Chains A and B, each alone.
Chain A
Amino acid sequence: MSGGAASPVAVRYSAVGAPLAALAATALFVVGAVAPIYAASEFTLRIGNQGLLLGMLALSVAFLMNQAGLVALGAASVYGGAGYLFAIGINNWDLSATQALLAAFVILVVYAAALGALIIRTNPLAFMMLTLAAGEMISHSVMLEGLRDYTSGADGLVVAFKGSILGLQAADFANPVHFWPLAWTATWISGLTIRAVRRSRLGAVLRAVRQNEERMRFSGFDTYAPRLMGFVLINAVAAVAGLLHVLNAGFVSPDSLGLSLSTNALVSALIGGVASAAGPIVGGLIFAFAQDEFGAYGVTQLLTGVAIVVFIVLFSKGVVGGLTSAARHLRRPSDPKGGAR
């Protein structure tokens, strides 16, 4: 699971390759932020933006799945919830755009901490069921008759903010050309953060708890707080993605909260592979473009189901995971660990 540190050979490779890799990553970041603006059409960029945001959501699902063995099926509720809270902050609470962003983020982190405190203690299957239930609860809350003044029920909310956020106006966020570098940067920041957490002590403890929770408790580790921190972290990432989405779309509807978006994020994570930070983001982009390709036939949902089954049963490493191990295999064909799992 832990990438390159499998053998002394790999360590030597990464010792030589580390500065090179950092250089390559920096180059990829700069080129990726600028090139598409000139090379791609506005329409392609629009889908690319959706793909990046879906990728961030997938990243959060994948992190908890890979590190803690927990599958969160309610990712979209925080993603869409962020949009709703931002809209309500502007429309009903008379906050400025920046204040509304912060308020939405803080409320969601508190919500995630409270929900996590309640459900993280249960076993992984129950966790999966409970996140699904919590997501549905949020979906139902938005449709409540009593909250209609705030959420407009099934119609969704138009969000028009005045002023600027980080020097960008509402029109800039809505423009796919201006939005792309922002989404690209946010994706990189979340990816690198997740990668850093993976390699930190928290990541190590989470993986150990996933292997054997009881033994970790006997060894004197707190197994509760790390999992709670992991849960809050992924929800923070999901909230950021959701806030970017509402800024970009200028609109939030029950669709952005629902179970189908949560499963889309799960599928993106599975397509790209959950074991790396790049995988889910690549998966999100693949999903967004595939959805654009097949969406017209109304078979997106069907393909989502097929993709879950196919990628779990046949390609459990995902695209990025599969390519990584294939590359490793080519470099060191004698290493038995390079090939199949």
Chain B
Amino acid sequence: MTTTPSKGIDPRGPRFGASITSALLLITVFLGLVGDAQRATVLLAVIVALFAWGAFAGIQRHPYGRIFARFVRPRLAPPAELEDPRPPTFAQLVGLLVTGVGLALELLGVAGAVTVSAALAFVAAFLNAAFGYCLGCQIYVLLVRARVIRPTSG
């Protein structure tokens, strides 16, 4: 409550990024299903890196955010309202955890871990892209409720 919100972002930016992410995740699931575990793992590793970028550098500095700002947003009408960049940045962290765990398990020898985690992450990314529903953001309140997240001030 006391923290000042950072500069607002166009809410369509994260949805644009989520649509690219969901397409990549769908390709990962496909590769996993047809038995090309190697390529599936490499592609998921790229997605994990992209999630890490968004989670730690912030959603605005994510490559998709830059592409959106540079090439897509100039073609669109101005947004009705701007959005706080922190919730979608937090959602990137949730995506990083889901895909990161899948990648780690696969590398530890758990067959199918990449496919399953890519499928789970796809559902979340698709809900964001197609419906504007930020599943990752919703998890925050559950973590607060479970006292996993505690206020840092006040």
Chain A partners chain B: no
Give the interface of B toward A (CB within 8 A): none
